[in-house]
Structure 1
Amino acid sequence: MASEEVIYTIAYMLISVCLVVPPNEFRAAGLTIQNIFSDWLGSEDIDFVRYHIKRSTATILFHSFLPLGYLLGYAFCFSNSDLLQPWKLQLFWQISITVSILLPLISGILSYYWSQNDWKKHPIALRASYHGDSWQSVAAIIDVEFRRIDKFQTGPPGRRVIVTDSWILQTSTYLMDIARQDDVHLNTIESQNFNFTDESTVGVQYISLNVISVNPNISQFTIRMNATEYGDFKAKLRTQIINVRNIIIQETITERFAEAFRQQVVSNGVYRLPAGSQEPDSCIGCMQVPANIKLTKLCDDNNVGDCVSCNCRPMWCLTCMSKWFASRQSQDSPQNWMSSKSPCPTCRSKFCMLDVRLVAMTRY
């Protein structure tokens, strides 16, 4: 019996997590708060702010019933009638039952309180009211701008960043951040680079920015986005982004690939010029830095595969070679670039990323 109870507990926890943070499969099946309560929530496109006021309320109510659902399911699956007589149970179960009942009760009372006077006391309505005479007047402006097709949107469904002509909005599970563009300044605070993701082997860079409002009633909040979307985000803003930490933002797929290419080349080891050989000239691609790349077959034995050792002397720098390599790949399949091959830009000998080595100026 104990093992069955453990299995039930694990299964209920997994289902609960999927309901709180729905994966793509649950979203495709319509198992989300938005779909379950769609008739009551209305249309996000028509009534954006009110929609999220109702959505956050429904989410709090739904999540508050999960602990009680666990206990009721436990009593039903294992015919445990003692759960219906808590005074006979141990202290742990008495506390669990009390909390599981109090959570939906408190959530219900809170939701009813928020709904009075046309949701005037709801946290999202309060945040909107700080920008005007009433939350309804501010919501009307936001609703109109949200319906325009030129707005900027990014982020997963549970945490979207939306930039309209006048507003920066961020939705979350229980709240929504609202800031007027004319009242804020933005600071770039962090950059996270991932060499591999579940969608691409080229890697991805995420940028975090602080949104700070001069309105004392508006708390600062942090938004996060893919670096490839940074240009579109910046174009929609009416204010400047301050990058005091001088974070390098890789806005294009080529820039992200160049960083992954550099890391791979560094791990390939160095090539030492033979004694008496000529010093490398400037890179013939950019003419700005000395050539520092040598193509030597390292990926396999000399007689295996398509790659061959290039006999050209070093003529290209690392940056130009990465751009050349990227330019020879299918632009529709960047996830395959890391494992692809390219011809040498000088002699057309085929090579892969494992064959690219940095030139060490110390000779044999």
Structure 2
Amino acid sequence: MDESELLFNLFYFLLCMVIIYPPEEFQRLGFTIEQLFARFLGEEYLDFVGYHLRRTSLNLFVHSCLPFSYFLIHRLKFSVFATQEPLEDSDLDPDFPMPQEAVAFKTLTWKTAQRFSVLAVLAMPALIFNWHQQNWRRHPISKALSKYSISPGSYRAVASEIGTEFRQPDIYKKKLNSISSVIATQNWIIKTTIYNVHFAHQTNTSLSVAKAETYNISQQDQNDTLQMISIIVRPMRQGVSDFHIRINALEFRNLENRVRRPIAIPSNIQFHRNVIDRFVDVFKAQVALNPIFPEDANTDKCFACMLIEPNTKIHKQCADFDRNGAPLADGACCSNCYCRPMWCVECLARWFAARQSDVDREVWLEQKCTCPMCRAKFCVLDVSYITPTVDATNLTQYQGAEGEADDTT
């Protein structure tokens, strides 16, 4: 294999990946199968099921033509990278001859792959034509919908119901990746894939979170993470298979609010359901890095949640410089807070997040906030966990021992 052929193989492989898994740039430019054949496919908004019947069939046909196109172009020697004619047998290096068995195996493999590519091009149109008979009744999507139909073998009534609900303005639709998306209507949960569409009626469907995965987006910042959760959708209808929905954990709340069925979450699976939950964890991690503030023992409850004891103290310990090292203006500097500990770290983090702008979520941790009581300005570097002082600890232990002695008496 010479250099031009190697470059052509690499180029064609990348072209196939772009066709099968189109990136966002190609989607914006309209270079996808759905956009190039939009006139043939019609409008998804007007005929949801019919659109996906044609879309899945078209994807299957176009993708089946890719191997045949490769062999056809290779046979015609059509390569923009070709710079010289193929070498003759006499021009091959005599010091590195190829064994006859290897040559025979390579030739047999090449011809077999060619025949399979031709077979795929001939078989796929025949299969699609068979699906199209009797108004697409033999298509896998139609067969899946017919299981929800009252009339055996008929799917048109169910398809019409789904199309009507899809046109309503309050549906949930989220693109999972370049080839699949999830849709939640009033009565249906739908997942579209490259070759099929999965349906589940909400009245007889159970949903549960299977697993949650956390990925570090940045190697420098361990708090910059992405959580993905996998939800199993189990239709109770006989003959309908289960399917998975893999979404960003921050989208879980939106999906949960749209479906009518509860989504079961096992106790051993933890994830951030919204941006605030994620910020609270990052806020806690940063506070844990700050110096601990000694404070007298406090028996009060958190002023916000009234559930746990206050465990944070706001006191100025940051430098009045911006990220570039320039001094801050007087109005932008943090100030001392003289309030006693009144807040737990989670409530203080939620207060901090509630005072930030939704537009600047990426830099919330760099912003400032005001104390809920005295309105002193502070940043996350000014928040510390508290620990009882030695005198306060001894006093608490003495009072406890004295109380036990009184009980004994």
Relative to the length of structure 2, the TM-score reads: 0.74
Q: Distance in 1 between matches of 2:12 and 2:387?
A: 59
Alpha-carbon distance change, 294 to 142 in structure 1, aligned in 2, over 3 angstroms: same
Tell me whether 185-194 or 208-217 shows the greater mean CA deviation.
185-194
Is the contact between residue 314 and residue 384 of structure 2 (CA under 8 Å) also seen in structure 1? yes
Q: Out of 108, 114, 117, which is 1:97 matched to?
A: 114
Corresponding residue of 2:308 = 289
Corresponding residue of 1:187 = 208
Corresponding residue of 1:359 = 386
Q: Which amino acid aligns with 1:334?
A: R
Q: Out of 159, 166, 173, which is 2:187 matched to?
A: 166
Is the contact between residue 302 and residue 308 of structure 1 (CA under 8 Å) also seen in structure 2? no
Gaps of 5+ in 1: none
Q: List per-residue Cα deviations over 1:237-282 (Å, max 9, x = no partner).
A: 333333343645644322221122223333x155263xxx522554
Is the contact between residue 61 and residue 125 of structure 2 (CA under 8 Å) also seen in structure 1? yes
- Displacement after TM superposition at 1:208 (Å): 2.6
Corresponding residue of 2:259 = 237
Q: List per-residue Cα deviations over 1:24-76 (Å, max 9, x = no partner).
A: 11011111111122122111111111110110011011111222223333431
Tell me whether 300-309 or 245-254 shows the greater mean CA deviation.
300-309
Tell me whether 307-316 or 250-259 shows the greater mean CA deviation.
307-316
Q: Distance in 1 between matches of 2:312 and 2:215?
A: 25
Tell me whether 48-57 or 245-254 shows the greater mean CA deviation.
245-254
Gaps of 5+ in 2: 89-102, 392-409
- Displacement after TM superposition at 1:301 (Å): 9.1
Q: Distance in 2 between matches of 1:339 and 1:242?
A: 36
Q: Distance in 2 between matches of 1:95 and 1:363?
A: 82
Q: Distance in 1 between matches of 2:168 and 2:273?
A: 25
Secondary structure at 1:333's aligned position in 2?
helix
Q: Out of 270, 294, 297, which is 1:279 matched to?
A: 297
Corresponding residue of 1:213 = 235
Alpha-carbon distance change, 294 to 185 in structure 1, aligned in 2, over 3 angstroms: same
Alpha-carbon distance change, 299 to 62 in structure 1, aligned in 2, over 3 angstroms: farther
Q: Which amino acid aligns with 1:160?
A: S
Q: Distance in 2 between matches of 1:339 and 1:96?
A: 58
Corresponding residue of 2:173 = 153
Superposed, 1:26-105 pairs within 5 Å as 26-74=26-74, 75-77=77-79, 78=82, 90-105=107-122
Query: Percent of counterpart pairs with the same letter?
Result: 32
Q: Which amino acid aligns with 2:128?
A: S
Relative to the length of structure 1, the TM-score reads: 0.82
Q: Which amino acid aligns with 1:112?
A: F
RMSD: 3.5
Q: Distance in 2 between matches of 1:50 and 1:212?
A: 25
Q: Distance in 2 between matches of 1:184 and 1:81?
A: 63
Corresponding residue of 2:283 = 261
Secondary structure at 1:27's aligned position in 2?
helix
Q: Distance in 2 between matches of 1:135 and 1:81?
A: 60
Corresponding residue of 1:123 = 140
Choose 1 or 2 for highest CA Rg. Answer: 2
Secondary structure at 1:332's aligned position in 2?
helix
Tell me whether 129-138 or 3-12 shows the greater mean CA deviation.
3-12
- Displacement after TM superposition at 1:226 (Å): 3.7
